[in-house]
Amino acid sequence: MAKLTLSVDNRVVSRAKQYAKLRGVSVSKMVEGYLTAVAEPPSPVTGAAPILRSLRGVLKSADIDEYRKHLTAKYR
């Protein structure tokens, strides 16, 4: 495991320590989790949640003008 030296405002460090203590984790683990999240390549929408894949293409035949008429009538 590599060590990393960071320069962080004292107030931020203090709040981060409180936050970590309340959650039972170390600040190092929190920073590692954040860096892991931002270092991951973004997943394409097709690889996203199964519910999104199941809805893909459902509205291809939708008529936008009919929908606008519906909304106009609904919110008069």
Q: What is the pLDDT of residues 10-21, one digit of tens each?
A: 999 999 999 999
On the question of pLDDT at 25 being above 90, the answer is yes
Asked whether residue 1 is assigned to any structural domain, the reply reads no
Asked whether residue 71 is assigned to any structural domain, the reply reads no
Any residues with CB less than 8 A from the CB of 52 and at least 6 apart, and which? 45
pLDDT for position 46 = 55
pLDDT for position 55 = 77
Asked whether residue 47 is assigned to any structural domain, the reply reads yes
- pTM of this structure: 0.52
Asked whether residue 48 is assigned to any structural domain, the reply reads yes
One-letter amino acid of 19: Y
Using the structure block, give the residue that is written with the tokens 């609904």: 74
Total count of domains within the chain: 1
End-to-end Cα, the chain, rounded Å = 63
Any residues with CB less than 8 A from the CB of 49 and at least 6 apart, and which? none
Range of the domain at 39: 10-56
Mean pLDDT to the nearest integer, 43-61: 70
Asked whether residue 43 is assigned to any structural domain, the reply reads yes
pLDDT interval class at 1 (50, 70, 90) = confident
Asked whether residue 51 is assigned to any structural domain, the reply reads yes
Of the candidates 5, 58, 59, the residue with the CA atom closest to the CA atom of residue 28: 5
